[in-house]
Amino acid sequence: MRDARHYDVIIIGTGAGGGTLAHRLAPSGKRILILERGDYLPRERDNWDSTAVFVKGKYRAPEFWYDKHGNQFPPEVNYYVGGNTKFYGAALFRLRPEDFGELRHHDGVSPAWPLRYEDLEPYYTQAEHLYLVHGRHGEDPTEGPTSAQYAYEPVQHEPRIQQLSDDLEKQGLHPFHLPIGVNLTQDDRGRATHDSVCIRCDRVDGFPCLLGAKSDAQVICVDPALRHDNVELVTGAEVRRLVTDPAGRSVTSVVAALRDGSTAEFGADIVVVACGAVNSAVLLLRSAGDRHPNGLANSSGVVGRHYMRHNNLALMAVSREPNDTRFQKTLALHDWYLGSDDWDYPLGGIQMLGKSDSDQIHGEAPRWAGAVSPDMPFEVLAHHAVDFWLCGEDLPAPDNRVTLDRDGAVHLALDEKNNIAGLRRLRHKLQTMLGHLGMHEHHLLPHSIYLHKGMPIGATAHQAGTVRFGSDPASSALDVNCKAHDLDNLYVVDTSFFPSIGAVNPSLTAIANALRVGDHIAERLQ
């Protein structure tokens, strides 16, 4: 083992949490080491190839986890600089103010956070500006107060989506421009200008961006942070264990397996874990010792528990008219986020997905619920498809948890029927409107107006909640600043800290919180 090298801060992970924190701390002048399990994502034609990305899963980690029955499954995780933001859809929503309080659902209670929306609001604004979010505050009636408008105008709808927005308004609803992080400059017709980095293609959702035009953590935060001489990045460094002092009060070193097969040990005054909700819990559990027999930060027993990943549903409607949209991810609808006239509980949100192509539909066909006509080519289906993403809140059940077996394998127990009544109602709301939105039951499909698929256990893109923060050390692992109750210098800044997940993509909240915790750590370093 190499001799330990000492830093002021070690950050483990380069995604929305870790990458953003590195960016925040870089100007401090303190010695900062970033450890990343993966490497830079290779730039190649397959980045934008549907078969390579969706069917063959070329960029997914070649690993398997186990469900509660002991069955293997491949998780949808990617180990690259930038973390899972390399593949996310860059939909950057704020949680609603109500999400920070106790919120009653049909199947249980979503717990309150130890801070309020107002506490995080300034950081939401900073996060939106940093990640180049395009949108317009004031369109969504469920959003909270804002201290500043988005710095960039919303991405304009293409004609078919503009028609959808108009039709929704005619139904008395309030569609709004989806807040999305892209480096796009538009002309007065919404087209990408000649000097725009983003070209408004159909590869934003689920694909890495060959042009660096999507606001992922590598492009926005890690690369700029590395321009500071005090910031160092080691790739191919899989952190295996955190070592504490004899009293068990501080992490003294970080032990990592390097790409060349050697093991390195790094020391720091402050250690920050940001490996993703599953792998952060795994690292803390794997670091058990005499003073922490159940894992680090786990005197409360909550580490690994309360795993959440949203109740999600992809729904592909079939339009009467062809849908020539390329950049489809520009519209969202939250009218039933907190309830409806016939339901007292939250349903969730609806947003557009990236535009399906024939290769994606062909690859997913066995998972779609609904009959695809054998007489209809996938190309025709794709040309008429309008793709929606329905998102409902997953409640933090203690038995939804991450554990390790004796061999160190990862086990993920998940109740896939947790609080799904609201999502079912949300789907019904959308289905009943489709005929009024230019999508007709018998125009193309003989049996079904839509094809839909739920997300299996391996769909871990929205993972959260396994190292929750709170004011009571008996029921939480972290304090309000995301420092471990049990240790003086250990922080967690990915989505692990969420006590609840709301019904919007968690990335912006992870980014805003990393900025908030970054300010706290910078002050502590002084």
Residues 498/502/503/506 CA torsion (nearest 10 deg): -30
Mean pLDDT of 372-381: 65
Structure tokens at 513: 């919180």
Instruction: Give 459's pLDDT tier (boundaries 50, 70, 90).
Output: confident
**pLDDT for residue 444:** 37
Q: Residue 494 in contact with residue 279, Cβ under 8 Å?
A: no
**pLDDT for residue 365:** 53
Instruction: Give 168's pLDDT tier (boundaries 50, 70, 90).
Output: very high
Summarised one tens digit per residue, pLDDT across range 209-221 is: 999 999 999 999 9
Which amino acid, residue 492?
V
Structure tokens at 273: 């874990």
**pLDDT for residue 368:** 46
**Least confident range of 223-232, 322-331, 358-367:** 358-367
Kindly state the percentage of the chain with pLDDT values over 70.
93
* Cα–Cα distance for residue pair 399/96, rounded to 1 Å: 26
Summarised one tens digit per residue, pLDDT across range 14-54 is: 999 999 999 999 999 999 999 999 999 999 999 999 999 98
Instruction: Give 455's pLDDT tier (boundaries 50, 70, 90).
Output: low
**pLDDT for residue 298:** 98
Read off the pTM.
0.95
More confident residue, 449 or 472: 472
**pLDDT for residue 14:** 98
* Cα–Cα distance for residue pair 491/25, rounded to 1 Å: 14
Mean pLDDT of 222-230: 98
Instruction: Give 318's pLDDT tier (boundaries 50, 70, 90).
Output: confident
- Has residue 395 got a pLDDT over 70? yes
- Has residue 516 got a pLDDT over 90? yes
Helix residue ranges, H only, 374-506: 378-384, 421-433
DSSP 70-135: S-EE------BTTGGGGTS--B-PPPPGGGGS-EEETTEEEPPPSS-HHHHHHHHHHHHHHTTEE-
What residue ranges in 380-468 does DSSP mark as E strands? 385-392, 401-404, 410-413, 450-454
Structure tokens at 343: 């339901």
Mean pLDDT of 289-308: 97
Query: Which sign does the torsion angle of CA 426, 90, 57, 197 carry?
Result: positive
**pLDDT for residue 456:** 80
- Has residue 188 got a pLDDT over 50? yes
**pLDDT for residue 2:** 43
- Has residue 453 got a pLDDT over 60? no
- Has residue 369 got a pLDDT over 90? no
Instruction: Give 454's pLDDT tier (boundaries 50, 70, 90).
Output: low
Please list the residues that pair with 251 across neighbouring strands: 244
- Has residue 449 got a pLDDT over 90? no
Instruction: Give 285's pLDDT tier (boundaries 50, 70, 90).
Output: very high
- Has residue 256 got a pLDDT over 60? yes
* Cα–Cα distance for residue pair 353/327, rounded to 1 Å: 9
Q: Residue 25 in contact with residue 272, Cβ under 8 Å?
A: no
Mean pLDDT of 105-134: 98
- Has residue 246 got a pLDDT over 60? yes
**pLDDT for residue 94:** 98
- Has residue 163 got a pLDDT over 70? yes
- Has residue 442 got a pLDDT over 70? no
Summarised one tens digit per residue, pLDDT across range 417-430 is: 899 999 999 999 99
Q: Which residue is listed with tokens 């809140």?
A: 393
Instruction: Give 443's pLDDT tier (boundaries 50, 70, 90).
Output: very low
Instruction: Give 1's pLDDT tier (boundaries 50, 70, 90).
Output: very low
**pLDDT for residue 225:** 98
- Has residue 445 got a pLDDT over 60? no
Instruction: Give 439's pLDDT tier (boundaries 50, 70, 90).
Output: confident
- Has residue 187 got a pLDDT over 70? yes
**Least confident range of 10-19, 280-289, 297-306, 375-384:** 375-384
